[in-house]
């Protein structure tokens, strides 16, 4: 019996998760459209035997391109190119249920799963913000609850589409001239509130059955959705206590929904800033902080908190009269996390911007490789995490440093595989999850 | 001054364009989801210095999977994987303007163009048939004219999105902390009949500016659309006279629209069945014909002609009282081509099925490599074609035979490049087309 294994996901972001990373001498400001940059990152992560790679996404250009690298290659497309440059690592693409149609999106993920030999994952998001809505014929963003209702129906349709071919629907009888068995094709014939989708998918069932389902919203609606559908959950947690409470809550919700608690993996994000001594790590962190342009930070914080421009005072605290989470129709859980962080640590706006600059609300940790491994081990060993979303402040160097210096420690402690091995091929297998049965096929015990 | 060059496009289709190709001993009936199969095809075409590869598509599963390999990987995704396996060849994906949103689709093509270094092309189709419509919330297919009106607005929006970043919008001034120039970002702010799209694309302008625009509908509406937007046109033509008339008509329409006649390339399809003698070629063709299941052919022909099941008599002619093209809301030009072919050659339904089995209405030509090269040269040299859509009946063997035996003849005659060379890198350059200026930047002469 092997020890419980840590799951590592490399959250890739152009020149790094720190908003000022692009200004460092080592960074390429055109990296965001350079396939070679992403191939390099993917190969470093594969050297570190990570479970998966991950790309965030939203169908809009953020406000000002002056502030930092803006725009990004579309994740499913980019990960397809990375599938051909790697052999083992999982490939998780973000896509929105609010601004896609189920038939097209289910098909793209099925295609990626076939091309990658079962390594596709979908980070399911509902997409906050009016900017995105206005690119798809709407005047304003749909209400938060509405977005999650649409997401649930979207998933039901996508699952029907992925199961619309039984695994053995292709008979390929050349002599008889019969290629497929029409009785093993199951058109969804779905008529719902948001979608009506009649026909079967035009892609056969995939190696994994369907992509690993990942979810990344931590509001009440988000957790309810995750408990029902998600096989892995990305989350931003600032303290181990909050992370433990989130972890326990999510597992018990999954159990209440009739699922196995082990079949939903929880991965908080961590922004490791590594130095050979603690002092060096802090110095590395300070270099990044010194490159932050604070007027940009104020602008973004005001948007995030839904405040009028010019409201915030750089050297004062957050206003006392901020609205409650229930009044926010955008990204609810991130809003609350930021407000609570500022209040708990009594941060000025300037200090808050410094803290968010590194990871937008994810835990930032500056230290030696041992200290980073200790923190990961502590969270992993005490009911706060099944693994981590590794979010290097600077890329590729931060990922390289993690793989060179932290990964060997985790391996020595028996927490992380030393090689991929040949028994587990698919992303779902790496995460220790079963291949889903087709909803149209009776479970063997029942036949 | 080099001679006018022939353009060759490899139209790929699983085990080949002949509907019975999957039944041959050499064919892999699972090829349609096998990346390695497509990589092999792409590399053969690149060995033959083709201009481009092409994948057809529709967002629906056709009627019965019993008849032949059904379902296909999504083309943009598959071509992205092929971009990494090739170096020079263009990559043309079909996508529908009726069942996509401009923001998402413009972004995917921009991504493919970045990843491939400027080798992306878009075969713009409006998608006939109720099966597709019912996968996207509609009860029936939109009227033909309606689909083309939507397509025109779709293109206008897509062009605005691709031009929403000027080529030099990224300034990357690390010292000043200024990444982009907001004055060089141009949000479309489009409000139209079918779409409203507010914001700029979240991908910078691409190597080609935008993908090569290809069109493949030959109805009146289709030709009007092509004259305005298309840089290359795929077409099915049964006789050189028809092809010449089509060619002249399209060029003069483009000129009337204020365009250069050389900036719209016309590529009819040809299904070459090659043998070392004419008799061997005919024998190869007969083997394929013998594998046709005629009841399947009747089924498909009845759908195509919008007839009730059971109307057609296998050994009789087509009914005399078929409706005129104007009454057809599906694929208009293909309908007319098939009806005229049957009448002109007085074919029985069985014979017509045999003729369509090879290429669904495209010109099928069985002969020696010399004869195939002669036909291509004749059409090319006499105002019927700027190049050809090569549609092998069986894949990979038919493409391999074309490259091994026909390509050397075309090269010896000075019609086809012998190597890609280094001066032309993008797909648009291969087709001899200029890189489009950004609509927001004044032409140099006017500044
Ligand atoms: C690691 C991580 C990655 C995320 N990536 C995305 C993303 O790519 N796109 C997106 O719209 N939301 C993303 N989110 C979710 C948003 O941050 C936000 O929480 C969500 O849109 C709204 O969820 P909520 O209101 O349920 O909290 C991510 C969240 C986490 C924790
Ligand atoms: C070479 C070629 C390839 C085509 N590929 C597609 C395709 O992939 N998907 C599609 O919907 N239509 C495709 N078409 C167009 C249809 O055959 C049909 O002509 C079109 O949908 C309707 O156009 P029309 O009514 O203007 O003739 C293609 C046509 C040609 C000549």
Instruction: Give yes or no for a contact between A370 and A336, defined as CB atoms under 8 angstroms apart.
Output: no
pLDDT attached to residue A1: 46
DSSP SS3 for B137: coil
DSSP SS3 for B159: helix
Interface size, chain A vs chain B, as Cβ–Cβ contacts under 8 Å: 222
List the beta bridge partners of residue B270: B363, B390
The token pair at B304 is 């195509």
A125 lines ligand 1 (CB under 6 A): yes
Rounded mean pLDDT of A282-298? 92
pLDDT attached to residue A445: 55
Looking at the structure of chain A, the number of domains it has is 1
Q: Round to whole Å and give the CA distance between B71 and B389.
A: 22
The alpha carbon torsion through B317, B320, B325, B330 (nearest 10 deg) reads -50
Domain assignment present for residue A185? The answer is yes
Which chain B positions have a beta carbon within 8 Å of A66's beta carbon?
178-182
Residue in B69, B115, B202 nearest the CB of A72: B202
Q: Round to whole Å and give the CA distance between B55 and B89.
A: 13
B447 contact partners, CB below 8 Å, separation of at least 6: none
Residue B267's CB: how many other CB atoms inside 10 A? 26
A109 contact partners, CB below 8 Å, separation of at least 6: A76, A93, A95, A120, A122, A158, A210, A211
- Range of A439's domain? 7-276+363-446
Q: Round to whole Å and give the CA distance between B274 and B281.
A: 5
A333 lines ligand 1 (CB under 6 A): yes
Question: How many helices (DSSP H) and strands (DSSP E) are in chain A?
Answer: 15, 13
Instruction: Give yes or no for a contact between B44 and B398, defined as CB atoms under 8 angstroms apart.
Output: no
Q: Round to whole Å and give the CA distance between B358 and B292.
A: 10
Burial of B63 (0-12, 13-18, 19+ CB in 10 A): middle
- To test the pocket of ligand 2, the residue of B53, B56, B141, B236 to mutate (highest count of ligand atoms within 8 Å of its CB) is B56
Domain assignment present for residue B427? The answer is yes
Question: B396: cis peptide before it, omega within 30°?
Answer: yes
- To test the pocket of ligand 1, the residue of A7, A60, A125, A332 to mutate (highest count of ligand atoms within 8 Å of its CB) is A125
Rounded mean pLDDT of A174-203? 97
The token pair at A298 is 């104020």
pLDDT attached to residue A333: 84
pLDDT attached to residue A248: 97
The answer to whether A177 contacts B291, with C-beta atoms less than 8 Å apart, is yes
Q: Round to whole Å and give the CA distance between B360 and B364.
A: 9
Q: Round to whole Å and give the CA distance between B102 and A102.
A: 16
Q: Round to whole Å and give the CA distance between A307 and A298.
A: 10
Ligand nearest to the CA of A230: 1
Instruction: Give Cα separations from A175 to A238, B308, B356 (angstroms).
Output: 64, 29, 22
Rounded percentage of chain A residues whose pLDDT exceeds 70: 98
What tens digit of pLDDT does each residue of A5-20 get?
999 999 999 999 999 9
B128 lines ligand 2 (CB under 6 A): yes
- To test the pocket of ligand 2, the residue of B54, B124, B125, B336 to mutate (highest count of ligand atoms within 8 Å of its CB) is B125
B58 lines ligand 2 (CB under 6 A): yes
Going by alpha carbons, the residue nearest to atom 7 of ligand 2 is B56
Q: What parts of chain B have a pLDDT lower than 50?
A: 1, 447
Domain assignment present for residue A90? The answer is yes
Q: What is the CATH number of the domain that holds B231?
A: 3.20.20.30
Domain assignment present for residue B346? The answer is no
The token pair at A41 is 């990152």
Q: Round to whole Å and give the CA distance between A120 and A213.
A: 9
3-state DSSP helix/strand/coil % of chain A, to nearest 5? 45, 15, 45
Domain assignment present for residue B168? The answer is yes
Rounded mean pLDDT of A78-83? 98
B329 contact partners, CB below 8 Å, separation of at least 6: B128, B141, B143, B144
Q: Considering only CA atoms, which of A106, A112, A50 is closest in space to residue A83?
A: A112
Average pLDDT, chain A: 94
B78 lines ligand 2 (CB under 6 A): no
pLDDT attached to residue A328: 85
B333 lines ligand 2 (CB under 6 A): yes
DSSP SS3 for A305: coil
Which chain B positions have a beta carbon within 8 Å of A59's beta carbon?
103-104, 107, 202
Secondary structure of A165-229 in HEC code, one letter for each residue? ECCCCEEEECCCCEEECHHHECCCCEECCCCEECCCCCCCCECCECCEEEECCCCHHHHHHHHHH
Q: Round to whole Å and give the CA distance between A166 and A154.
A: 21
User: Which helix (H) or strand (E) segment is B304 a member of?
Assistant: helix B294-304
A194 contact partners, CB below 8 Å, separation of at least 6: A149, A150, A153, A154
DSSP SS3 for B365: strand
Which chain B positions have a beta carbon within 8 Å of A202's beta carbon?
58-62, 70-72
What tens digit of pLDDT does each residue of A220-259 get?
999 999 999 999 999 999 999 999 999 999 999 999 999 9
B216 lines ligand 2 (CB under 6 A): yes
Residue in B115, B179, B293 nearest the CB of A78: B115
Rounded mean pLDDT of A72-98? 98
Going by alpha carbons, the residue nearest to atom 11 of ligand 2 is B127
Instruction: Give Cα separations from A33 to A55, B75, B117, B188 (angstroms).
Output: 13, 21, 10, 22
The alpha carbon torsion through B160, B164, B167, B169 (nearest 10 deg) reads 170
Instruction: Give Cα separations from B170 to A32, A299, B164, B212 (angstroms).
Output: 12, 21, 13, 24
The answer to whether A115 contacts B73, with C-beta atoms less than 8 Å apart, is yes
Domain assignment present for residue B342? The answer is no
Q: Round to whole Å and give the CA distance between B79 and B102.
A: 20
Phi-psi group of B209: left, alpha or beta (phi > 0 → left; psi -120 to 50 → alpha; rest → beta): left
Domain assignment present for residue A146? The answer is yes
Going by alpha carbons, the residue nearest to atom 31 of ligand 2 is B235
The answer to whether A185 contacts B65, with C-beta atoms less than 8 Å apart, is yes
What global pTM score does this model have? 0.96
Domain assignment present for residue A259? The answer is yes
Q: Considering only CA atoms, which of A338, A330, A360 is closest in space to residue A128?
A: A330
How many residues are there in chain B?
447
Going by alpha carbons, the residue nearest to atom 5 of ligand 1 is A56
- Nearest-5° angle of CA B245, CA B249, CA B254? 155
Query: Confidence class of residue A97 from pLDDT cuts 50, 70 and 90?
Result: very high
pLDDT attached to residue B354: 87
Instruction: Give Cα separations from B204 to A38, A70, A94, A172, B323 (angstroms).
Output: 17, 9, 20, 45, 49
User: Which candidate in B74, B138, B184, B196 is best for mutational testing of the A interface (most A CBs within 10 A)?
Assistant: B74
CA A222 to chain centre: 13
**Ligand 1 centroid, distance to B33 Cα (angstroms):** 32
Burial of A108 (0-12, 13-18, 19+ CB in 10 A): buried
What tens digit of pLDDT does each residue of A319-374 get?
998 988 888 887 888 899 899 999 999 999 999 998 887 777 889 999 999 999 99
The token pair at A317 is 């605290």
């Amino acid at each position: 019996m092997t020890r419980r294994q840590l799951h590592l996901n490399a959250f890739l972001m152009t020149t790094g998760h720190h908003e000022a990373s692009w200004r460092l001498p080592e960074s390429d400001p055109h990296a965001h459209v350079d396939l070679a940059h992403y191939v390099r990152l993917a190969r470093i992560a594969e050297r570190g035997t990570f479970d998966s790679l991950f790309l965030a996404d939203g169908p809009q250009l953020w406000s000002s391109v002056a502030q930092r690298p803006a725009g990004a290659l579309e994740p499913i497309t980019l990960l397809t190119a990375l599938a051909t440059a790697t052999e083992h690592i999982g490939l998780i693409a973000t896509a929105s249920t609010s601004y896609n149609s189920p038939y097209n999106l289910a098909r793209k993920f099925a295609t990626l799963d076939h091309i990658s030999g079962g390594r596709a994952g979908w980070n399911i998001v509902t997409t906050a913000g009016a900017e995105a809505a206005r690119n798809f014929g709407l005047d304003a963003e749909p209400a938060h609850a509405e977005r999650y209702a649409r997401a649930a129906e979207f998933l039901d349709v996508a699952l029907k589409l992925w199961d619309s071919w039984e695994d053995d629907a292709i008979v390929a009888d050349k002599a008889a001239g019969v290629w497929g068995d029409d009785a093993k094709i199951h058109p969804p014939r779905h008529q719902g509130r948001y979608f009506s989708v009649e026909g079967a998918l035009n892609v056969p069932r995939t190696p994994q059955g369907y992509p690993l389902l990942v979810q990344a919203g931590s509001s009440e609606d988000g957790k309810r959705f995750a408990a029902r559908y998600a096989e892995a959950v990305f989350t931003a947690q600032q303290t181990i206590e909050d992370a433990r409470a989130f972890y326990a809550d999510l597992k018990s919700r999954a159990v209440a929904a009739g699922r196995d608690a082990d079949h939903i993996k929880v991965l908080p994000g961590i922004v490791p800033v590594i130095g050979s001594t603690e002092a060096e790590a802090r110095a590395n962190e300070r270099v990044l902080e010194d490159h932050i342009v604070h007027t940009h930070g104020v602008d973004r914080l005001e948007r995030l908190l839904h405040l009028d421009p010019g409201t915030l005072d750089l050297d004062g605290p957050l206003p006392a009269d901020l609205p409650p989470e229930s009044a926010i129709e955008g990204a609810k859980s991130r809003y609350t996390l930021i407000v609570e962080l500022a209040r708990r640590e009594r941060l000025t706006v300037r200090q808050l911007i410094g803290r968010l600059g590194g990871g937008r609300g994810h835990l930032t940790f500056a230290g030696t490789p041992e200290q980073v491994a200790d923190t990961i081990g502590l969270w992993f060993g005490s009911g706060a995490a099944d693994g981590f979303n590794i979010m290097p402040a600077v890329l590729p160097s931060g990922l390289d440093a993690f793989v060179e210096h932290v990964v060997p420690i985790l391996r020595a402690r028996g927490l992380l595989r030393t090689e991929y091995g040949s028994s587990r091929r698919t992303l779902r297998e790496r995460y220790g999850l079963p291949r889903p049965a087709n909803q149209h096929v009776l479970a063997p015990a029942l036949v």
